[in-house]
A = this chain, B = another copy of it.
Amino acid sequence: MKSLATSIDVQGEDLQEYCRKTAEQARLASRKLVSLSAAAKDAWLRAAAEALEENVDPILAANTLDLEAAPSYGLTEAAIDRLKLDAKRVAVMADALREIAALRDPVGEVIEGFRRPNGLEIQKVRVPLGTVFFIYESRPNVTVDAAAICVKSGNAVILRGGKEARHSSSALVDVMAGIAPQFGIPREAIQLVQTADREAVGHFLSLDDYIDVAIPRGGRSLIERVVREARMPVIKHFDGNCHVYLDESAEVDMAVAITVNAKCQRMGVCNACESLLVHSASVQRLLHPVLNALADQGVEIRGDERVCRQFPSAVPATEADWATEYLGPIVSVKIVDSLDEAIEHINRYGSHHTDAIVTSSLQAARRFCAGVDSSAVMVNASTRFNDGGEFGLGAEIGISTDKFHARGPCGLRELTTYKYLVLGEGQIRT
């Protein structure tokens, strides 16, 4: 294996040229990937899984360099734990590659096809987007997943990982890209950006001739920067301010189970519940059991005036609370007088991510589904299910709260576009 993490140190025009060259190579690689067979891509994924397991020693050696440097970056205990690799975690990454190999190739799928009166046969066929610029936080397994998902969907990828994981990511990319040419995949299909200079991100975001989509994953300031600077489209989600609405007709046990699961099963994730709405006609029946169950889990209740009257240990909610993604043990709670008020509140303060209703009324379920403008609307199910794996899409590269191109979990198919193929026998237009 070649030396790991040869971080380049270039500035100004050199840096710009490095980025341009990297992106141009990705574009050239993407042209080759377009017509690569599923068999070749899947054989590469399975071989890459093997290769990761065979190279566990150099991978762990690289990871040790990152772990040694971690204190100098001020990483928390939790972040260091996410960064740390061992043989078992490498095996988990390898298994993820085998799972992606087993997924159906999205490229070439005939989305629809029909014959026109003049005999033209028209097919709408799924094709890769081209080149993906992926900017992400420091977990090494994200490097492996992203490279696999992008190449399986026929795209070249430029990986810009966090500097905290650069030795680990470099070792992983070396393994995966190193064996790629054996399967007809250009090595440049998977490139890790070899500089920690933040200006490099800006250069890449200007290269819309070479890069078809930017996918940022990380904090709000990173995503805002990418949206501001990118000259190509962006797949992103900002916040997950998800709601659970307990309708008048909700069953108590189900209301408790879903609210507690949505809020508490994992607090720091984008599809966790941050806000609870309860219909005023069922306050007596629903509010106390649900809030008691949340309080038992250590969740702080921030309520509107009526909630605070009913539940004295609640803290008064401010206007800002309705729009806040806590990502922790706090929930805002509001009593609403109608289903319409719930829908309006969600559309106004929510983040169009995931919102759930608990109800026994078919009419209420239908109106909630139609009215709530979110990537996923849940009826009698936890918000936590809005996830590529839970939807059965296989691996995902993110969840989009945008309405354009892809909405909700983004897996292999969401990294593709389509083109029309029109087959004739000499037809001309009259």
Residue ranges of A at the interface with B (Cβ–Cβ < 8 Å): 31, 34-35, 114, 116, 120, 122, 127, 129-130, 212-213, 233, 251, 253-254, 257-258, 260-262, 265, 347, 365, 367, 369-371, 373-382, 384-386, 390-392, 402-405, 407-408, 417-430
Least Cβ distance of A399 to chain B in Å?
11
Kindly report which residue of chain B lies nearest to residue A208, judged by CB atoms: B227
B424 touches A380 (CB 8 A): yes
A426 touches B258 (CB 8 A): yes
B261 touches A428 (CB 8 A): yes
Kindly report which residue of chain B lies nearest to residue A377, judged by CB atoms: B421
Kindly report which residue of chain B lies nearest to residue A372, judged by CB atoms: B419
B423 touches A379 (CB 8 A): yes
Inside 8 A of A422's CB, which chain B residues have their CB? 376-379, 381, 385-386
One of B129, B254, B380, B403 near A129 (C-beta < 8 A): B403
Least Cβ distance of A253 to chain B in Å?
8
Least Cβ distance of A235 to chain B in Å?
9
Kindly report which residue of chain B lies nearest to residue A31, judged by CB atoms: B347
Given contacts A265-B428, A391-B420, A407-B417, 12 further A-B contacts (CB under 8 A): A114-B392, A129-B403, A213-B404, A253-B426, A254-B426, A260-B428, A262-B428, A380-B425, A381-B422, A382-B427, A384-B429, A407-B420
A212 touches B379 (CB 8 A): no
Inside 8 A of A408's CB, which chain B residues have their CB? 419-420
Alpha-carbon separation in the docked complex, A428 to B260 (Å): 9
Kindly report which residue of chain B lies nearest to residue A259, judged by CB atoms: B428
Alpha-carbon separation in the docked complex, A9 to B367 (Å): 42
B381 touches A257 (CB 8 A): no
Inside 8 A of A260's CB, which chain B residues have their CB? 428
Inside 8 A of A365's CB, which chain B residues have their CB? 423
One of B114, B233, B382 near A404 (C-beta < 8 A): B233
A426 touches B373 (CB 8 A): no
A35 touches B424 (CB 8 A): no
Inside 8 A of A127's CB, which chain B residues have their CB? 373
One of B213, B381, B407 near A419 (C-beta < 8 A): B407
Alpha-carbon separation in the docked complex, A408 to B419 (Å): 7
Alpha-carbon separation in the docked complex, A377 to B120 (Å): 12
Alpha-carbon separation in the docked complex, A405 to B417 (Å): 8
Alpha-carbon separation in the docked complex, A382 to B260 (Å): 60
A385 touches B35 (CB 8 A): no
Q: 30 A-B Cβ contacts within 8 A? A: A34-B370, A34-B371, A35-B367, A116-B391, A116-B392, A120-B381, A122-B391, A122-B392, A129-B404, A130-B373, A130-B403, A212-B404, A233-B402, A251-B426, A257-B426, A257-B428, A262-B428, A369-B421, A375-B419, A376-B420, A376-B421, A377-B420, A377-B422, A379-B423, A379-B424, A380-B424, A381-B423, A385-B422, A404-B417, A408-B419
Alpha-carbon separation in the docked complex, A428 to B405 (Å): 29
Question: Provided the pairs A380-B423, A385-B422 are in contact, do residues A35 and B404 lie with their beta carbons within 8 angstroms?
Answer: no
Inside 8 A of A426's CB, which chain B residues have their CB? 251, 253-254, 257-258, 380-381
Alpha-carbon separation in the docked complex, A418 to B265 (Å): 27
One of B404, B420, B427 near A386 (C-beta < 8 A): B420
Inside 8 A of A418's CB, which chain B residues have their CB? 407
Question: Provided the pairs A212-B403, A429-B384 are in contact, do residues A377 and B419 lie with their beta carbons within 8 angstroms?
Answer: yes
Least Cβ distance of A343 to chain B in Å?
9
One of B384, B403, B429 near A385 (C-beta < 8 A): B429
Alpha-carbon separation in the docked complex, A381 to B118 (Å): 11
B420 touches A375 (CB 8 A): yes
Alpha-carbon separation in the docked complex, A151 to B210 (Å): 36
Alpha-carbon separation in the docked complex, A424 to B404 (Å): 27
Alpha-carbon separation in the docked complex, A367 to B34 (Å): 11
Inside 8 A of A419's CB, which chain B residues have their CB? 373-377, 407-408
Least Cβ distance of A57 to chain B in Å?
36
A428 touches B375 (CB 8 A): no
Inside 8 A of A425's CB, which chain B residues have their CB? 380
Q: Which of A390, A405, A427 has the most CB of B within 10 A?
A: A427
